Amino acid sequence: MELHPRDPGRTAWALPCLLLLVLPGAGAQTGQDFKLHQPQDKVSVRAGETLTLNCTVSGDSDPGPVKWLKGWGSDNKTIYGDTGTYPRVARAVNESNTDFTIHIRNVQPEDIGTYYCVKFQNLLGGGIRVFKHGSGTEVSVQAKPSQPLVSGPTQRVAPGQSVTFSCTAGGFFPKDIGVKWFKDTNPITSQMPQVTEWQRQSYNMSSTVTVVLGEGDVLSRLTCEVQHSASPTLLQGTYQLNKVLRVSPRVDVRAEQRSPIQLNKTVNFTCHVKGFYPRDLSISWLENGMKMEVEKNNSWLSESSKGLWELRSWVEVQATEEKNGSVFTCLVVHDAQAPINYSTTLWIASPDEEGLRKKFQMDNENLVIYSVVAVVCLILALLVAAILYLIRTKQIKGKSSPSARLHEPEKSSEATTQESDPNNLTYADLNFDKERKTIRRMVEMSQQSEYACIQTSQAPNGDENLTYADLDMVHLSKAPKRPAPRPEEATSEYASVQIPRK
């Protein structure tokens, strides 16, 4: 302090005061009953919330401000003081000499640290020094991770290839964090996430997963699910797999009619492009390598249930003689890839070929009809053969009943003569296939019944011992039916004929 000689009275008053200040213990007597109370040891708060730091003082003290410092030592930072501007900090009780509690709004992870409430003492030279300070309050900020971001390759890939995707999130505290991957609703195995420190008291996370893509993944999506203590809910990041998937189209070109085409007829060539993704695709028609002009409305685009696209494009061509053998090509460019082409050739039928073609069609139709008729006839023949076989089988089973074939010739003059014969004789001529023998005719002189008896020394061979008798009937009496005579010998065979009354 500079003294002024023009004012001896003022100089005399200031000197005792200076002596009092420099005396040992003079300032200590003033702050003996001063107390500073900072009750909070640790405080945890979520990011974005408001942090409250409590500090109160009591008793007398030397003049000097009360401030809040973050950290201690040379790297401390003033959070609040009686002078200066602090946008996020405000006192709980304004202009209070005892309550120095403050509120810090919108706390962030960088606010993590230890805070001290400090009482300063003014110095004579204009500076300040620490007089009292609290024990410090350790502040931790529960910062939830940022919204997870899932990213994939920058270029599209074809089905069947392996693709690596990554999920990142940052700005969280504490360090512990959990990550899960899903394809649609199916879990995918992944490695532990990598956590690195970012700035101060804040961390970042990165997780990767590898997926083999398929055609059916156009509608699928990946989900990265993040769990952290600072977030009350699960955080999710998604990625649509169609952003990276490319399905190349299949191309087919066909004519609406079979070749050869009739002269001067109009034929449509259709290019069917199916099963492709993404939608971006262009079609060009070429005739013998030269681009054709096609109407814009000659195409139809549709989407399948699997998310793949289909496109049909057609062009009309007049089948003239000069176009015979022309090659028509459908050129497809999909998603800026190499062109895909498919070609077909137009063949025109000459008049003779047209007639032959029609004749060939008619012959084919007739052949079908003949085939049907032949099948029907074959079935009928098989049925007749089956019936004959059944009859033959039945005849074979009845061995004890020989068969006789009777023939009654037309009446003649000779028959008329025999008819007037009072003896009423009937003749039976027996013919054997393998052996012809002399047969004794035995006629019973009776007007009641007539029979023919055939006797052989031994049974004829063949046909299961069947005997066939061809009887030439001359006259049969109309007597009542009587039983046939009993055979005389075991080797004799009889054929009897009885004619019912007419």
Query: Both tokens of residue 420?
Result: 């007037």
Give pLDDT, residue 148: 96
Mean pLDDT calculated for residue range 197-219 = 90
Q: For residue range 402-444, list pLDDT tens digits in order.
A: 444 444 444 444 444 444 444 444 444 444 444 444 444 444 4
Least confident range of 151-155, 268-272, 459-463: 459-463
Which of 303, 240, 246 shows the shortest CA–CA distance to 277?
246
Query: Both tokens of residue 137?
Result: 């309050």
Give pLDDT, residue 178: 95
pLDDT band at 209 (very low <50, low <70, confident <90, very high): very high
pLDDT at 12 over 90: no
Give pLDDT, residue 369: 87
Query: Both tokens of residue 98?
Result: 């005892």
DSSP 8-state code for residue 331: E
Cα separation, 183 vs 219, whole angstroms: 11
CB 93 within 8 A of CB 99: yes
pLDDT band at 21 (very low <50, low <70, confident <90, very high): very low
CB 228 within 8 A of CB 145: yes
Mean pLDDT calculated for residue range 256-279 = 91
**What is the amino acid identity at position 417?**
T
Cα separation, 490 vs 155, whole angstroms: 110
pLDDT band at 392 (very low <50, low <70, confident <90, very high): confident
The residue among 167 and 460 whose pLDDT is bigger is 167
Give pLDDT, residue 17: 35
pLDDT at 377 over 60: yes
In the chain, % helix, strand, coil (3-state, to 5) comes to 15, 35, 45
Residue 263, SS3?
coil
Q: For residue range 461-477, list pLDDT tens digits in order.
A: 544 444 444 444 444 44
Q: For residue range 34-66, list pLDDT tens digits in order.
A: 999 999 999 999 988 999 999 999 988 888 899
Q: For residue range 295-325, list pLDDT tens digits in order.
A: 877 889 999 999 999 999 999 999 998 999 9
Backbone angles phi, psi at 269, to 5 degrees: -100, 130
Cα separation, 384 vs 313, whole angstroms: 60
pLDDT band at 352 (very low <50, low <70, confident <90, very high): low
Which of 372, 362, 327 shows the shortest CA–CA distance to 347?
327
Least confident range of 81-85, 312-316, 365-369: 365-369
Q: For residue range 479-493, list pLDDT tens digits in order.
A: 455 555 555 444 444
Backbone angles phi, psi at 151, to 5 degrees: -130, 155
Give pLDDT, residue 213: 95
